[in-house]
Structure formats: structure tokens, C-alpha cells
Amino acid sequence: MVVAVLGSFIGSFMLCLTYYEGSLFRRSQCDSCHAELSWYELMPLVSFIIQNGRCRRCGNRIPVYIFLTELLFFVLFFLFISESSSALYAACISFLVPLAIYDIYHFKVPDHMLLLFACVLLMICFPLLLDSRHLISSGMLIMLLHLFYLLTGSIGYGDIKLLSLFALFLPLTYFLLIFMLTYFIGGMAVICFLFYKHNLRKIPLIPFITASTLLVFKFYDELYTIYFGGFL
């Protein structure tokens, strides 16, 4: 439970960092009136409920996605990190969930977050980069991803950059499972969306990458058997 509570704090901070690159160097403030927030107004989940989802100074509504992000971090850290000490799991949740939220609202992937994510993955997965076979396969995958982007233009370059990070820092089978599952889940979602919105032009991909990554981490053995049947 302590890890889950810590996760909600991390979620609040990472979402703020995603939206405001300079948030490391300034006090937290209300987006509407820009008043600096007290420590008790920064308590994840609790402060939102106590304040009825509004700023204590100006009375404007606090975006509900902030509360939902903190709640999602609480649940994900409880499910994933409480049963595993993997720093990779914690890093992926900490970066992917805020990126998914940002992508839903803005159809963009902030470069400063990808750079930070790359640095964290480098520290965690550095031993994997010492394997020359992995470097060759990841290099080929990154080239194929960029070729796919140049020839089709069907997904954003931010998505390509994130998938390239996964190709470089994750084992090959993990990357392939995440990639295939992303397009399976995304494809099913598009079909469902088209029933309600026939002129659908854009759909954020990061939420599906995030969901696929979490599913692969949670059910790797089962998904490996389903997709590869022991051939890889």
C-alpha cells in the first residue's frame, strides 16, 4: 500500500513535468489564477476530494484528468510494483501514463519527456546494450520504423521515437509483443470509434502503446506462447 501511495505522488509530479518542462524549478500553482499551492493542496487524490475538485483561491475547476492520473498511478503501482521490484516497470509506468494522457488531449509527445525517458532506460537497461546481436536487431528495427513512417505517414513521429526507444532498450520479444499488441488493440478501438464518429481523422497511439506495454509486462509468458508458440 505504501508503494501505491508513493505511486500517486509520482503520478502527480510526472504529469506536471509532462505539461510544464520547467516545473522542476518552480513552485506548483493553479493553472487558472496562478496562485502558488500549499503543501496540503498537493496531496494526491485527497486534496482533490476535499476541495471538491476546485481551486481554493479562484474556485475554478481542477482538470479531472489530474485526479484520474493520480488514481491510475495508485492502482498501477499497487498491481505492478508491489509484486515486483523491477525498476523498468516503475519507469515505464511513470513515463508512459502521463505521455498517454498528454497525447489524448494534444496529439503530441513532448520531446523533453522522451529525452528523460531515454536517460532513465539507459541507466536501467545498459547491460542489454553490451550485446552486439541486440544492437544489430534494434538498429534494424529502428530503421524499419522510420521507413514505415516515411512511406505511410500513418502515425506521428512522436510515436516512432517512443517505439524506437523500446526497440533499443527492451529485449526483442518484448518489443515485438508490444508492437503487435498495440496495433491489435488500436485497430479494435478504431472500429469501435467509427460506430460513433464516422469522420474520425486522428487517434492518439500512445495510450495503446501504454496499455500494450502493461499487458506484456503482466502477461508476458502467456502472450509469448500465443504469438510465438516457442519459436523465438
Query: CA 106 to CA 204: how far, in whole Å?
Result: 9
Four-residue CA torsion sign, 134, 110, 115, 32: negative
CA–CA dist 208, 185 (Å, integer): 7
Tally of CA atoms within 13 A in the half-sphere of 51 that contains its CB: 25
Residues 6 or more apart whose Cβ sits within 8 Å of residue 156? 107, 108, 109, 205
Calculate the CA 97 to chain-centre distance: 3
Helix (H, G, I), strand (E, B) or coil at 29: strand
Yes or no: say if 177 and 216 are a contact pair by the CB < 8 Å rule.
yes
Measured between alpha carbons, how far apart are the two ends of the chain, in Å? Answer: 37
Q: What is the pLDDT of residues 80-90, one digit of tens each?
A: 776 555 789 89
Whole-model pTM: value is 0.88
What is the distance of C-alpha 28 from the center of its chain? 22
Task: Name every residue whose Cβ is closer than 8 Å to that of residue 73 and which is 6 or more positions away in sequence.
Answer: 7, 8, 10, 11, 12, 44, 93, 94, 97
CA 18 from centroid of its chain's CA atoms: 11
Residue 182's CB is within 10 A of a number of other CB atoms, namely 25
Query: Do residues 168 and 142 touch, judged by C-beta distance below 8 A?
Result: yes
- Which pLDDT score is estimated for 116? 95
Task: Write down the pLDDT at residue 58.
Answer: 78
Helix (H) or strand (E) holding 210: helix 206-218
**pLDDT of amino acid 192:** 81
Alpha-helix residue ranges (DSSP H) falling in 55-171: 64-76, 87-106, 111-125, 132-152, 157-169
Instruction: Give, for all 232 residues of the chain, the pLDDT tens digit.
Output: 778 888 888 888 898 888 876 656 566 776 667 667 776 667 878 888 888 878 777 777 888 888 899 899 998 988 877 655 578 989 999 999 999 999 999 999 999 999 999 999 999 999 999 999 999 999 999 999 999 999 987 788 999 999 999 999 999 999 999 999 998 998 888 888 777 766 667 789 999 999 999 999 989 889 888 887 755 5
Helix (H, G, I), strand (E, B), or coil: what is residue 10?
A: helix
The span from the CA of 65 to the CA of 1, in Å, is 22
